[in-house]
Amino acid sequence: MMNNPEMQRQFQAAKEMAGQSGIGGAVYLDVDQAKGTLKMKFKVTPAEEQNKLVVSLAYVIAQMSQAIGLQVNTREAKNEEVNNG
């Protein structure tokens, strides 16, 4: 999938920068091809970085979607308790 040397270089550079940031954790992907859904659940350490990471990744996904000609509609949870644990 990533046979483009420039993309591989950029991916490696991003990976190195992420490693230096001290951010770690896991992402759980829930994919339902029949429904066309992709859900992501993050457990990020340190916990205070989780919000920033989620917002940044949502932006990247929106930009990639627009780049391939899709209309992007975003829904954000409001007035809900945030649990980073």
Helix (H, G, I), strand (E, B) or coil at 10: helix
- For residues 21 and 10, the answer to whether their CB atoms sit within 8 Å is no
Residue 39 domain-assigned (yes or no)? yes
Residue 51 domain-assigned (yes or no)? yes
Residue 9 domain-assigned (yes or no)? no
Give the chain's domain count. Answer: 1
Residue 16 domain-assigned (yes or no)? no
* Angstrom distances, CA of residue 72 to CA of 20, 38, 56, 66: 32, 14, 15, 7
Residue 30 domain-assigned (yes or no)? yes
pLDDT digits (tens, 9 = 90+) for 8-33: 888 888 888 877 888 888 999 999 99
Residue 13 domain-assigned (yes or no)? no
Residue 82 domain-assigned (yes or no)? no
Residue 85 domain-assigned (yes or no)? no
What's the domain range around 67? 23-76
Q: What is the pTM of this model?
A: 0.66
pLDDT bracket for residue 76 (50, 70, 90): confident
